[in-house]
Chain A
Amino acid sequence: MGRHVLLIEDEPNIVEAIRFILTRDGWRVSTHGDGADAVAVVQRLRPDVVILDVMLPGQLGLEVLRALRADPALAALRVMVLTAKGATRRKAWGRMCL
């Protein structure tokens, strides 16, 4: 697996923190702060891993996740979801989307 990660997150300070950690660990980190066109960015950059903030405003995180999973060309893509809630309910819908 390659080491290119795309971080989809709208909080600049969280982006900075994660970018710092992953870069030190040898990853190439791209970031994108807007959920609205996130799917197009993934399709263009073709990262090996996507880290997606599912708490993006307006249910955007959930929609992005669904759209990514609906695209057969992205079947091999690994998606990690980022959430501050960690509730079982979120885990449940995360599984539902996969």
Chain B
Amino acid sequence: MPLTGLTGSRVRERRLAAGIAQADLARAVGISASYLNLIEHNRRRIGGAVLDRLAAGLGVAPALLAEGAEGGAVQDLRAAATGAAAGAKPEVDRIDEFLGRFPGWADVLAGQYRRIGDLERMVAALNDRIGHDPHLSQALHEVLSAVSSVRSTAAILAETEDIDPDWRARFHGNLHMDSERLAVGAEALVAYLDGSEQEADTGGAAPQEELEGWLAAHGWHFAALEAGGAGAASLAGEIAQLASKAARDLASDWVRQAAADAAALPLAAFEAARAEAADPWILARKFGCDVLQVFRRVAFRPGAVEGLVLCDGAGTLLMRKPIAGFSLPRYGAACPLWPLYAALSRPMQPVAGVVEMPGFSRARFHVQAFCGVDYPAGFGGPEVRDAAMLIAPQALVAAEPALAVGTSCRICPRGGCPARRERSIVAEIAF
């Protein structure tokens, strides 16, 4: 099976490339040659210590051998093959071999596939903008109206020979008025188009991705926001460097919220309380704040491994802090089985459980989800929901049953999933 057969093939490829005999590698790693042979032919699953020792023996990073590191590339290559031009016949069944033998080219191909996706989305967004932008349509209407008026008036003046002097004076006045209007309208249009050019200049990344990239580069934490730090204002210069205005606004909001969270949950006291009882609800009670604030403080404290996803009432992901092994969708909707969405439909109730991601490693995570509700306009106003899911790594051998989830239907290999909403582009395996 292509998706699961990767790690063993990679071990074999790397070993042959390094010119090491199977028996020698087996001895170095402390396993029998026949066992290594089974591994190399993908007849035995490996992980943990054996994988680490094999990686050390081959002189590569364990992540290079593990499927997790390649999973994304395999999915992107499969997707690229699906979208290939008619007549092209990519050897989909040999993706593993391609990845193993030409990892550099595979990276280039997968990277270009992702870039094409980004560009397609940008073109769609710009197209949508031209078609539906009320400002643009208003500005164009103004210019077209003035042009029509000038044209009809000028035609009358040019083509009517015996025109009455009073009428002629009147039409001249109208021409003057309309040409003024045309100049103003054209200027407004040019100013608008100049502005939109700047706005669109984000290199294809959505503002949210830009913000997440910036936060990830800082380890999702700013010492300046902690007690005794330089404060939120000291980050203004950094924020100003972000390419799009939308991303700068998102970053300002994020910093403001993180500063408020840091003030409500001072780091030392928070860590001490967590050591006593890590339950978010208990922590929220202790500090007199809400559960979502505790989630954010956990995920955005210095050196935190926990992942965090936030969504709004429509289920749209607003923030994705990744955690190794739990793939988050790059864009679009996520797996409907995520406890995040269970929490969204049951506001103010804690939802917790163990989830398992598909794939070779079957990585398990302990997740806690919660949905808060707010009425920013009071009793008469609309209900605004904000849900979050905190994702923590779970020890590999967990006795408790895990909920089988995925990333997003399009790249999920779980066959027969009752919640599937669209076909997968990867080979489906038993749920």
Main secondary structure of the interface of A (DSSP, over half): helix
The 8 closest A-B pairs by CB, nearest first: A17-B152, A84-B144, A13-B149, A13-B174, A84-B148, A14-B149, A17-B153, A11-B145
**Contact partner of B141 among A13, A24, A57, CB < 8 A?**
A57
A75 cross-chain contacts in B, Cβ below 8 A: none
A17:B156 contact, CB within 8 angstroms: yes
A20:B149 contact, CB within 8 angstroms: no
**How many residues on the B side are at the interface (Cβ–Cβ under 8 A)?**
17
6 additional A-B residue pairs with CB within 8 Å, beyond A13-B177, A17-B174: A11-B145, A11-B149, A13-B152, A55-B144, A57-B141, A84-B148
**Contact partner of B171 among A17, A18, A57, CB < 8 A?**
A17
A16:B145 contact, CB within 8 angstroms: no
B147 cross-chain contacts in A, Cβ below 8 A: 84
> Is B379 on the interface with A (CB-CB < 8 A)?
no
9 A-B contact pairs sorted by A residue (CB < 8 Å): A13-B153, A13-B178, A17-B149, A17-B153, A17-B155, A17-B174, A18-B152, A55-B144, A84-B144
A16:B144 contact, CB within 8 angstroms: no
Among B144, B145, B160, chain A packs the most CB atoms within 10 A around the CB of B145
B167:A11 contact, CB within 8 angstroms: no
Shortest CB–CB separation between residue B79 and chain A, in angstroms? Answer: 34
A21 cross-chain contacts in B, Cβ below 8 A: 156
Question: Which residues of B are at the interface with A, using a C-beta cutoff of 8 A?
Answer: 141, 144-145, 147-149, 152-153, 155-156, 160, 167, 170-171, 174, 177-178
Interface size of A as a range? 10 to 19
Shortest CB–CB separation between residue A44 and chain B, in angstroms? Answer: 27
**Contact partner of A85 among B144, B155, B160, B171, CB < 8 A?**
B144
A18 cross-chain contacts in B, Cβ below 8 A: 152
A1-58 interface (Cβ within 8 A of B): 11, 13-14, 16-18, 20-21, 24, 55, 57
Q: Complex formed: what's the CA distance from A55 to B141 in Å? A: 8
Instruction: Determine the residue in chain A with the shortest Cβ distance to B174.
Output: A13
A85 cross-chain contacts in B, Cβ below 8 A: 144
A84:B174 contact, CB within 8 angstroms: no
Q: Complex formed: what's the CA distance from A55 to B148 in Å? A: 11
B148:A11 contact, CB within 8 angstroms: yes
Q: Complex formed: what's the CA distance from A84 to B148 in Å? A: 6
B152 cross-chain contacts in A, Cβ below 8 A: 13-14, 17-18
Instruction: Determine the residue in chain B with the shortest Cβ distance to A56.
Output: B141
Instruction: Determine the residue in chain B with the shortest Cβ distance to A21.
Output: B156
Q: Complex formed: what's the CA distance from A84 to B171 in Å? A: 20
B153 cross-chain contacts in A, Cβ below 8 A: 13, 16-17
Q: Complex formed: what's the CA distance from A21 to B149 in Å? A: 13
Q: Complex formed: what's the CA distance from A11 to B181 in Å? A: 12
Q: Complex formed: what's the CA distance from A20 to B164 in Å? A: 11
